[in-house]
Structure 1
């Protein structure tokens, strides 16, 4: 019987020693590596939040940014009313910079978690959230809202139209992939790729036939941005991330069993058909809520899960928390770079996630941990 904890990406790899059972304690070096990585990612997230809050045309030091954030979280702080912090600094940090940084973190965590779950669901190393066509569906909905206008869309705004488009694409992929009551991983991927291509063609047609002033808005949404973030936009993707994250951790043993194949998972008591359906819905929910408010941001769901597997292995109990933290930090850093390197212009996030993520991923492939994560040669 195949080991339950085997890597999901073993098809092309030569045989290697089986990893320890998820029931056994971590070896001391592995435990230190896991805890050290968690600490580094957590500290990195806090630092990036402060750096992002202080970066912009209105100069604000890290100490001032920390004071502003603390002053809003803990009302009554003296520095909020003694003139130390200006009204302009307060508004810039609290109303504009912090929401976009937090939204980037939530979006990155959601996309990374969606990628990890999808790779387990279909047991394919190249799987990532946008392979299901969910992003393409959101693109069609958003472009329709931009091209036709809110009035023609019965008052539906851009974010709502994008979410409805993503939800519709999810339903279509599920119906196309389902055969005899069973969702086959190969059919799921093929249905997602085919539907995504069709929806992308519709999006391109709408883009080239619309008025010139709409093209920039369409392209900026399709390439992803958090520049117009608000605290209200954090609610839906944050709630989706919390729900799916708790579910994934609670079902981590079943996820480990699915890595070994359907027969082994069934022998271990996992309802594979139900599990695969639930994972599909969870992945679609994370992607849809993210794309609806941030636009199309690719590559996060591919590179982050692989990078984490290289560090701590493929046991979902140890891997998923780091995937969430790593995805958040990755996209927060990308957003900071997007609004800094070409000031006063801003680079769409989708461009930088590929430009920064692809070389980083290629470098990781050359490291000694790559083979253990299934991406080494």
Structure 2
């Protein structure tokens, strides 16, 4: 399928999904009122929209939908990069423990005051993500490397950081903090506002540009590091840049909405099925498909249980867990 057609269809689907996300809720809003309210805020159009309705649309639901889209895009890009660099179809930030490490870093800042005020929530999440990846790399290297061992090391690292997070919350948080943190860890978009859009959107866009710039190098990594080096790819530098971009995107999204699993695992495979394996096409497709998926998952989280909002991580897990099982089965048949 031509990339231009995929991008156009994905953009149209994203706009429709965002419009649905803004319109759906306890206060039902028509598409016409959604666009009128946005036009009033952006262009001072002066359409007759009740102030309360306009406030709900602009200040709460639109910001929430845009953060969801940015998180889906960033996590999907991270999954593409890790699968390419590690040459493993099961690699993603959640499986490799990067999301868990970012959660631990963010919780340590929020509850323990790590950094004495000099470290932001996103900064703590980034430090935790980097520490988690280094730990997984050391564990995998100590057992002889290999894609299967990297996945096993990631699972071990993920469990370790989940345990550290639970210990910090249990030992140091009060009852109110514990409830808020545990709900946030499952994925929550309830508290996001426009300031979070201002953080998530630039990180996702910059991460995409960095990854797209290295698209040819990522194609070369499909044949192994030795083959990539023989083709003139500066392997060490490219790996460092792309791993840093992955850690930054994962840490930023986790600090905003919590550890949301399976997006970075499932979406790259869906995009690869649509546009093929070449990264110049795969990266923009995965970014847009991930954004659409996350917005739709947010809509589902608000509709599945009447009068309640499910953690969005529950919705992504309900979809991603069966997909993960299928990928494990296929990888086993191929001898991965």
TM-score normalized by the length of structure 1 = 0.78
Cα gap change, 1:358 to 1:130, in 2 (>3 Å): closer
- Counterpart position of 1:349: 312
- RMSD of aligned Cα (Å): 3.1
Task: Tell me how far 1:323 sits from its aligned partner.
Answer: 0.4
User: Which of 103, 106, 115 is the equivalent residue of 2:70?
Assistant: 106
- Counterpart position of 2:8: 39
> Does residue 1:95 correspond to 2:64, yes or no?
no
> Does residue 1:280 correspond to 2:280, yes or no?
no
User: Which of 79, 84, 88 is the equivalent residue of 1:124?
Assistant: 88
Mapping 1:17-28, distance limit 5 Å: none
Mapping 1:122-161, distance limit 5 Å: 122-145=86-109, 147-148=111-112, 154-155=116-117, 160-161=120-121
- Counterpart position of 2:20: 51
Task: Tell me how far 1:199 sits from its aligned partner.
Answer: 1.7
- Counterpart position of 1:67: 36
Cα gap change, 1:364 to 1:127, in 2 (>3 Å): closer
User: Which of 289, 302, 306 is the equivalent residue of 1:339?
Assistant: 302
- Counterpart position of 2:133: 173
Residues in 2 aligned to 1:67 and 1:176: alpha-carbon distance in whole angstroms: 50
Residues in 1 aligned to 2:29 and 2:244: alpha-carbon distance in whole angstroms: 42
Residues in 1 aligned to 2:122 and 2:38: alpha-carbon distance in whole angstroms: 31
| Contact 1:307/1:361 (8 A) holds in 2 | no
Task: Tell me how far 1:121 sits from its aligned partner.
Answer: 0.9
Task: Tell me how far 1:362 sits from its aligned partner.
Answer: 7.1
Task: Tell me how far 1:364 sits from its aligned partner.
Answer: 9.7
TM-score normalized by the length of structure 2 = 0.87
SS in 2 for 1:104: helix
Task: Give the number of the structure whose residues are more often helix, by fraction.
Answer: 2
Residues in 2 aligned to 1:203 and 1:286: alpha-carbon distance in whole angstroms: 20
> Does residue 1:303 correspond to 2:266, yes or no?
yes
- Counterpart position of 2:124: 164
Gaps of 5+ in 2: none
| Contact 1:138/1:161 (8 A) holds in 2 | no
- Counterpart position of 1:78: 46
Q: Which has the larger radius of gyration?
A: 1
| Contact 1:135/1:166 (8 A) holds in 2 | no
Cα gap change, 1:133 to 1:363, in 2 (>3 Å): closer
Task: Tell me how far 1:188 sits from its aligned partner.
Answer: 6.2
| Contact 2:210/2:242 (8 A) holds in 1 | no
Cα gap change, 1:247 to 1:71, in 2 (>3 Å): same
Point out the more displaced range, 219-228 or 336-345. 336-345
Residues in 1 aligned to 2:316 and 2:99: alpha-carbon distance in whole angstroms: 15
Task: Tell me how far 1:145 sits from its aligned partner.
Answer: 4.7
Aligned length: 329
Q: Deviations over 1:6-40 (max 9, x none)?
A: xxxxxxxxxxxxxxxxxxxxxxxx32xx4433232
Q: Deviations over 1:242-295 (max 9, x none)?
A: 222112212211111111111211111011122112111111011001101111
Task: Tell me how far 1:345 sits from its aligned partner.
Answer: 1.3
